[in-house]
Amino acid sequence: MTKVLLIEDDDGTAEEVVAELSGLGFDVERAANGIDGLAKARANDPDVMIVDRMLPGMDGLSVIETLRKDQVATPVLVLSALSAVDDRVRGLRSGGDDYLTKPFAVVELIARVEALLRRPVDSRETTLRVGTLELDLIKRTARRGDRSMDLLPREFRLLEYMMRRSDQLLTRAMLLEEVWNYKFVPATTNLVDVHMGRLRHKVDGPGEPQMIHNVRGSGFILRAQS
Amino acid sequence: MRQLQFMRSNTFRWTAAVSALFALFVIVLFGFIYWKIDTYLIARSDRMISVQMNYMAELPHDRRIHAIESHLAQDSRRVQFAGLFDPSGGRLAGNVESVPAGFALDGSVQAAKVVRMGAANDSGPTIRAVGRRLDHGDVLFIGRNVDETREISSVVGEALALGLVPALCLCLVAGAWLSLRAQRRVENVNQRVQRIVAGDLQERLPHDGVDDPFSRLAVIVNGMLDEMESMITALAGVGNDIAHDLRTPLTRARLALERGRTHATTLEQLQEVTDKAVAGIDQSLAIVTALLRLTEIENSRRSAGFGNVALHEILREICDVYEPIAEDKQIALGVDIDRKLHVWGDRDLLFEAVANLVDNAIKFTPPGGKVNLALLRGENASIVHVTDTGPGIGEQEREAVLRRFYRSDKMRHTPGVGLGLSLVAAIVKLHGFRLVVQPGPGGRFDIVCADRQSS
């Protein structure tokens, strides 16, 4: 069972997150302050940690920095009411961890935890395969079965990201951050949908089973089988 | 208690210190004067007795006795001493019993202790005197009492007391008055400041229009208060706008939830109203997020994230992102990026600024229109030029569009948070660039990126 450690001082938020994650089959443990959180992180060796940034006793980023100094590489999702521009957070992100600004949708939190747990292995593969979908990273070509697809560079980038994380829910915010390198919320809210619509039009041809699925209100999943 | 507070005030302490210093100085001065006068008087009487000695010594023996007698007879102040003694020490004339023991008879003026003839006690005054042995063995002794100097010292002391004590008192009184006055003014200012702190922004500091430092300070502070009052009034206006823009979607959410709770009979209906409510709450949150972002940019003074930014790359990326959006709306997105121009700035923020401008342009341009993105080179500046064939911005609105939550009446029903241009303006300002809203037709925005001063 996947062990999750939640370090969050607000009882209301913690309760919701614990309920949601437990419902999904995670083994969730909660600490209400930084010092307790650090102790539990050391004792229980969780698979993933969700850490609030501002905590009584010891602030969230310090907890993470302390663990990293001890060579603990547990992936961390940082929650915060502050936005994500300062340098400490930038450093955190480049280390492979993630950051989520409060308030957040629960699906967003789950999607990011799943993404952290299933971090793509940095394979030397030059060809990505999901079902009948095939992406040649060297020749920059894409095929679905025997049908070759003509993708624009931005579509290629998007499909590559999705194939590396197939069967995972990818939220709009995740796609914006990772594919388009957006550090802010664009005013046009359907930005991702428009791009995805075009990609889907090319990937899921007429009569073919659907591979790119729209999860209502949350994001998109690329599935090998429907 | 308060009456005694002035004793502890700085002004008073300084006055006291200066008074003490002044008194010390005066005492030293008077001491010096006394010493000078004393030296002068002694030198003068020394000269006098030397002259007398010379005169007497020159006289013939019989006339000398007579001269001594008449010299002493004329001395009404009884300060003169004289004596003529035979070689065996017997007194021939004068008012001195004998030559003091150990007195050198070499004609030099010395201090000596003598006993006047007929004096009751043995201890006579200390005088200045000169003695000389004459040709046939007689000893002539002439002296003068210099006790006058003691009188002078008492006169000087009296003068000192008469002058110094009142002067000192005056100093202390002046110090006390000054510190009391300053204290009263500070107290007055204090009370008013407390009223201002309590929220009475109309209150001002008192000043009597005189050109003293205190009044000048009050005038400056009052100017600052004027500025703050107008700023707070403006902020209150923004607050009202925020409240309005936040309340609208929240009201929608509340109504939807209420209606769903009363009328929904199936799960689908309940889900539908919940979705509506969540959308309303999300819009409110988007406003809060944008406001926080705005504050964050406006408050960030750091340029740590600054570096050399390739404008042409940013523009190309934005084009890449927005092309499908424009196409969906049947708007032609044109780009004119021939040049490779670099500026000094934060890449992410500049991306955000240009993206916001393009986003706005696409939003406000009707289908069939055109949005153009160009990179130009101006005088010592690189210019990002965003134009569209939308309604454009009227002359009277050009200032207002940069204001928070401003949305042109024509655009009332276009979805948006109304902070986009404020964000662009804040980012541009952070970089020291300029955002120029050009006259129509259509919307025309320029971000004028001044070249970095090579320093």
User: Where among A117, A139, A158 does a domain terminate?
Assistant: A117
Residues A65 and A105 occupy one common structural domain: yes
Residues A136 and A87 occupy one common structural domain: no
Q: How large is the average pLDDT for residues A94-109?
A: 81
**B111/B312 Cα distance (integer angstroms):** 107
In the structure, what pLDDT confidence band is assigned to residue B400 with cuts at 50, 70 and 90?
low
Find the CB nearest A195 among B296, B324, B352.
B324
Any B CB within 8 A of A85 CB? yes
Residues A211 and A191 occupy one common structural domain: yes
Is pLDDT at B5 greater than 70 in this prediction?
Answer: no
What phi and psi, each to the nearest 5 degrees, are found at residue A80?
A: -160, 150
Q: How large is the average pLDDT for residues A151-169?
A: 91
- The rounded mean pLDDT for chain B is 82
- The rounded mean pLDDT for chain A is 87
Any A CB within 8 A of B294 CB? no
Is pLDDT at A112 greater than 80 in this prediction?
Answer: yes
In the structure, what pLDDT confidence band is assigned to residue B367 with cuts at 50, 70 and 90?
very high
Q: Does A184 sit within 8 Å of B321, measured CB to CB?
A: no
In the structure, what pLDDT confidence band is assigned to residue A86 with cuts at 50, 70 and 90?
low
Is pLDDT at B407 greater than 60 in this prediction?
Answer: no
* Residue A21 covered by a domain: yes
Q: How large is the average pLDDT for residues B328-351?
A: 88
Any A CB within 8 A of B416 CB? yes
- Side chain identity at B357, as an amino acid letter? L
pLDDT digit string, tens, across residues A194-209: 999 999 999 998 888 8
CATH class of domain segment(s) B307-450: alpha beta
In the structure, what pLDDT confidence band is assigned to residue B412 with cuts at 50, 70 and 90?
very low
Any A CB within 8 A of B279 CB? no
In a mutational test of the A interface, the residue from B301, B309, B321, B329 whose CB has the highest number of chain A CBs within 10 Å is B321
Any B CB within 8 A of A153 CB? yes
Residues A10 and A81 occupy one common structural domain: yes
User: Where among A60, A91, A117 does a domain terminate?
Assistant: A117
Is pLDDT at B370 greater than 70 in this prediction?
Answer: yes
pLDDT of residue B3: 53
Any A CB within 8 A of B362 CB? yes
Q: B323 to chain A: nearest residue by CA?
A: A195
Q: Among A21-30, A50-59, A94-103, B83-92, whose mean pLDDT is lowest?
A: A94-103
In the structure, what pLDDT confidence band is assigned to residue B11 with cuts at 50, 70 and 90?
confident
Q: Does B362 sit within 8 Å of A83, measured CB to CB?
A: no
**B373/B57 Cα distance (integer angstroms):** 125
Higher-confidence position of B59 and B411: B59
Residues A86 and A140 occupy one common structural domain: no
pLDDT of residue B196: 87
pLDDT of residue A11: 92
Kindly list the residues from chain B whose CB atom is less than 8 angstroms away from the CB atom of residue A103.
Answer: 285
Q: Does B355 sit within 8 Å of A194, measured CB to CB?
A: no
Q: Does B285 sit within 8 Å of A184, measured CB to CB?
A: no
* Residue A194 covered by a domain: yes
Rounded to two decimals, what is the model's pTM? 0.62
Q: Give the distance from residue B185's alpha carbon to the nearest chain A alpha carbon, in angstroms.
A: 45
pLDDT digit string, tens, across residues B273-310: 998 898 888 888 888 877 777 777 777 765 567 888 99
| B213-299: in CATH 1.10.287.130 | yes
pLDDT of residue A111: 92
Residues A96 and A195 occupy one common structural domain: no
pLDDT of residue A221: 93
Is pLDDT at B172 greater than 50 in this prediction?
Answer: yes
Residues A139 and A179 occupy one common structural domain: yes
End-to-end CA distance of chain A: 26
Q: Does B417 sit within 8 Å of A87, measured CB to CB?
A: no
pLDDT of residue B74: 86
Q: Does A153 sit within 8 Å of B320, measured CB to CB?
A: yes
* Residue A26 covered by a domain: yes
pLDDT digit string, tens, across residues B422-454: 788 888 888 888 888 888 788 888 899 888 775
Burial of B120-152, coded b for 16+ CB within 10 Å and e otherwise, reads: eeeebbebbbbbbebeeebbbbbbbbbebbeee
Find the CB nearest A83 among B275, B296, B352.
B296
pLDDT of residue A226: 58
The two tokens of residue A38 are 């650090």
Q: Does B417 sit within 8 Å of A187, measured CB to CB?
A: yes
Size of interface A-B (CB pairs under 8 A): 51
Higher-confidence position of B400 and B52: B52
pLDDT of residue B214: 81
Count of the separate structural domains present in chain A: 2
Q: Give the distance from residue A223's alpha carbon to the nearest chain B alpha carbon, in angstroms.
A: 24
**B195/B191 Cα distance (integer angstroms):** 6
* Residue A67 covered by a domain: yes
Domain that holds residue A158: 127-222
Q: Does B356 sit within 8 Å of A187, measured CB to CB?
A: yes
Find the CB nearest A186 among B278, B285, B355.
B355
Any A CB within 8 A of B407 CB? no
Contact criterion met (CB below 8 Å) for A220 and A170: yes
Q: How large is the average pLDDT for residues B254-259?
A: 90
Q: Give the distance from residue A197's alpha carbon to the nearest chain B alpha carbon, in angstroms.
A: 10
Q: Which residues contact A109 (CB under 8 A, 6 or more apart)?
A: A17, A20, A50, A77, A79, A100
Place of tokens 């007497």: B56
User: Where among A97, A117, A137 does a domain terminate?
Assistant: A117
Q: B274 to chain A: nearest residue by CA?
A: A217
Q: How large is the average pLDDT for residues B147-166?
A: 80
Alpha helices in B59-112 (DSSP H): 61-73
Kindly list the residues from chain A whose CB atom is less than 8 angstroms away from the CB atom of residue B345.
Answer: none
Q: B317 to chain A: nearest residue by CA?
A: A180
The two tokens of residue B318 are 């934005």
* Residue A109 covered by a domain: yes
Query: Residue ranges per domain, chain B?
Result: 213-299, 307-450
Place of tokens 């409240």: B243
pLDDT of residue B455: 45
B193 burial (CB, 10 Å; 0-12 / 13-18 / 19+) is: middle
In the structure, what pLDDT confidence band is assigned to residue B231 with cuts at 50, 70 and 90?
confident
In the structure, what pLDDT confidence band is assigned to residue A211 with cuts at 50, 70 and 90?
very high
Any B CB within 8 A of A154 CB? yes
Any B CB within 8 A of A146 CB? no
Any B CB within 8 A of A185 CB? yes
Find the CB nearest A194 among B290, B325, B356.
B325
Residues A77 and A144 occupy one common structural domain: no
Residues A78 and A156 occupy one common structural domain: no
* Residue A111 covered by a domain: yes
Any B CB within 8 A of A195 CB? yes
In the structure, what pLDDT confidence band is assigned to residue A143 with cuts at 50, 70 and 90?
very high
Is pLDDT at A159 greater than 90 in this prediction?
Answer: yes
In the structure, what pLDDT confidence band is assigned to residue A21 with cuts at 50, 70 and 90?
very high
| 3 state DSSP class of B403 | coil
* Residue A122 covered by a domain: no
Higher-confidence position of B326 and B411: B326
How far from B225 is each of B85, B201, B212, B230, B237, CA to CA, in Å?
98, 7, 20, 9, 18
Residues A8 and A112 occupy one common structural domain: yes
Contact criterion met (CB below 8 Å) for B127 and B148: no
Contact criterion met (CB below 8 Å) for B309 and B285: no
Q: Does B304 sit within 8 Å of A87, measured CB to CB?
A: yes
pLDDT of residue B372: 92
Residues A110 and A152 occupy one common structural domain: no
Residues A132 and A217 occupy one common structural domain: yes
Q: B283 to chain A: nearest residue by CA?
A: A189
Domain containing A81 — which CATH number?
A: 3.40.50.2300
Any B CB within 8 A of A91 CB? no
Q: Give the distance from residue A39's alpha carbon to the nearest chain B alpha carbon, in angstroms.
A: 34
Q: Looking at this predicted complex, what is its ipTM? A: 0.81
Kindly list the residues from chain A whose CB atom is less than 8 angstroms away from the CB atom of residue B347.
Answer: none
